[in-house]
């Protein structure tokens, strides 16, 4: 091969090898409510990293709803396309193995009506110990429409927080194909009732509310299942781990979850119910309980430790409750 041909060949190889690193991303924002491309939408390309989300570029869709980023981020790894339409963010994860041209990013028209969403699962899991009781309320919404329920004044969901929780709780929200994210909750004009503003997009959206009550066993739990007017709901279930029983005139035994042997109860009067909780138990495996027995025990009369205890327990309890929700839904299927 002649010297000139060698140089030309090397140059072409260099171009071919660097093209995927600095690939362009092109696509269209489609309004799935109208079925048409949506012009004038702000689209941002971000890259997750150890320092959080880093913005690579921002553009606005043209008359045909099209957008383009001339170069993506070199070095590989996932990137995120984010379209903001009428104050709601719609995301599309761009992994290295999917095409970067002809990408479709879906958005939806918002609606303030809660009737487009329905509660398909609502359960409260109790984990009592000798000195406190962990509570996890899981609410799963299904939106089968082609609009997004977005109403900050009403909130996506509402929940009742017992006064004994002393206003300390944690809320996580997870949209369709998203990750659980902490969300703030706001007080309403109803006593001890909070709302969680969050857009409910088409598909499944899940909320988890966790808190710790500084009480022992037996214990009378006073609760409410708060539902937005016009939103369809499913019966409230109470879950008790092995070793824990729940009783009351508003409570009916519904069965046992086969894998964890947790008892499942149905609340027949969800607007205001009373549940007698007796015993102690946890959803954790037996070996985890054995390991926990070697750890220092939290006792009453130590306010410095107790200040942080609810948050630590709530975080661990949320992880355990998520696993149980998956098992519970599989057993129902």
pLDDT in tens, 203-214: 999 999 999 998
Query: What whole-number distance in Å separates Cα of residue 168 and Cα of residue 35?
Result: 44
8 Å CB contact between 262 and 324:
yes
Q: Do 173 and 245 share a domain, yes or no?
A: yes
> Is the pLDDT at 330 greater than 70, yes or no?
no
Q: Do 260 and 237 share a domain, yes or no?
A: yes
What pLDDT does residue 177 have? 82
> Is the pLDDT at 251 greater than 60, yes or no?
yes
Please list, in sequence order, all residues whose beta carbon lies within 8 angstroms of the beta carbon of residue 246, skipping any fewer than 6 positions away: 126, 238, 240, 263, 265, 275, 276, 277, 278
Q: Do 121 and 98 share a domain, yes or no?
A: no
Domain boundary pick from 61, 91, 107: 107
Closest CA to 61 of 75, 44, 76: 44
> Is the pLDDT at 180 greater than 60, yes or no?
yes
Beta pairing class for 147-149 and 181-182:
unpaired
HSE-CB for 305 with a 13 A CA cutoff: 9
At residue 16 the predicted structure's pLDDT band, cuts being 50, 70 and 90, is: very low
What pLDDT does residue 2 have? 54
Q: Do 327 and 203 share a domain, yes or no?
A: yes
Q: Do 149 and 195 share a domain, yes or no?
A: yes
What pLDDT does residue 72 have? 66
> Is the pLDDT at 286 greater than 60, yes or no?
no
Domain boundary pick from 83, 107, 131: 107
Q: Do 146 and 248 share a domain, yes or no?
A: yes
pLDDT per residue over 308-326, tens digit each? Answer: 444 444 445 555 555 556 5
Structure tokens at 216: 């022992």
With a pLDDT cut of 70, the percent of the chain lying above it is 76
What pLDDT does residue 304 have? 41
Is 245 or 3 the better-scoring residue by pLDDT?
245
> Is the pLDDT at 332 greater than 70, yes or no?
no
With a pLDDT cut of 90, the percent of the chain lying above it is 65
What pLDDT does residue 328 have? 58
Domain of 80, CATH number, reads 2.60.40.1120
Beta pairing class for 25-31 and 103-107:
parallel
Domain boundary pick from 89, 107, 125: 107
Q: Do 18 and 143 share a domain, yes or no?
A: no
What pLDDT does residue 157 have? 98
What pLDDT does residue 24 have? 86
Q: Do 25 and 68 share a domain, yes or no?
A: yes
At residue 130 the predicted structure's pLDDT band, cuts being 50, 70 and 90, is: confident
Question: How many separate domains does the chain show?
Answer: 2
HSE-CB for 9 with a 13 A CA cutoff: 6
8 Å CB contact between 225 and 121:
no
- Residue burial 170-198, b: 16+ Cβ < 10 Å; e: rest: bbbbbbeeeeeeebebeeeeeebbbbbbb
Q: Do 233 and 323 share a domain, yes or no?
A: yes
The rounded mean pLDDT for the chain is 83
Q: What angle do CA 247, 250, 252 make, to 5 degrees?
A: 60
What pLDDT does residue 98 have? 86
29: containing domain? 3-107
Classify residue 200 as exposed, middle or buried by CB count within 10 Å of its CB (0-12, 13-18, 19+): buried
What pLDDT does residue 73 have? 63
Q: Do 238 and 128 share a domain, yes or no?
A: yes
Element (H, E) at 205: strand 203-213
Q: Do 97 and 119 share a domain, yes or no?
A: no
Q: Any idea what DSSP says for residue 98? A: S
What pLDDT does residue 11 have? 42
At residue 76 the predicted structure's pLDDT band, cuts being 50, 70 and 90, is: low
What pLDDT does residue 138 have? 97
> How far is the first Cα of the chain from the last one, in angstroms, to the nearest whole number?
67
At residue 173 the predicted structure's pLDDT band, cuts being 50, 70 and 90, is: very high
Q: Do 55 and 204 share a domain, yes or no?
A: no
């Amino acid at each position: 091969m002649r010297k000139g041909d060698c140089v030309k060949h090397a140059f072409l190889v260099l171009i071919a090898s660097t093209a995927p690193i600095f690939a362009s991303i092109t696509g269209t924002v489609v309004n799935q409510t109208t079925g048409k491309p949506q012009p004038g939408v702000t689209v941002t390309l971000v890259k997750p990293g150890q320092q959080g989300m880093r913005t690579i570029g921002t553009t606005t869709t043209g008359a045909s709803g099209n957008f383009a980023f001339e170069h993506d981020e070199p070095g590989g790894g996932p990137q995120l396309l984010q379209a903001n339409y009428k104050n709601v963010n719609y995301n599309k994860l761009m992994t290295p193995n999917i095409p970067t041209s002809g990408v479709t990013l879906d958005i939806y028209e918002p609606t303030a009506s809660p009737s487009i969403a329905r509660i398909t699962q609502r359960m409260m899991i109790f984990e009592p110990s000798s000195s406190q009781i962990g509570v996890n309320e899981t609410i799963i919404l299904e939106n089968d429409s082609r609009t997004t329920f977005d109403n900050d004044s009403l909130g996506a969901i509402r929940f009742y927080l017992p006064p004994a929780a002393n206003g300390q709780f944690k809320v996580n929200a997870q949209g369709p194909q998203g990750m659980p994210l902490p969300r703030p909750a706001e007080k309403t004009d109803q006593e001890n009732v909070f709302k969680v503003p969050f857009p409910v997009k088409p598909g499944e959206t899940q909320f988890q509310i966790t808190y710790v009550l500084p009480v022992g066993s037996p214990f009378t739990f006073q609760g409410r299942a708060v539902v937005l007017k016009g939103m369809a709901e499913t019966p409230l279930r109470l879950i008790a781990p092995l070793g824990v029983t729940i009783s009351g005139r508003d409570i009916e035994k519904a069965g046992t979850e086969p894998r964890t042997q947790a008892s499942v109860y149905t609340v027949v009067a969800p607007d205001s119910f009373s549940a007698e909780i007796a015993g102690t138990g946890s959803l954790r495996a037996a070996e985890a309980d054995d390991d926990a027995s070697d750890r220092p025990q939290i006792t009453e009369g130590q306010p410095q430790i107790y200040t942080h205890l609810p948050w630590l327990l709530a975080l661990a309890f949320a992880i355990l409750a998520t696993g149980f929700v998956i098992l519970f839904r599989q057993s129902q299927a």
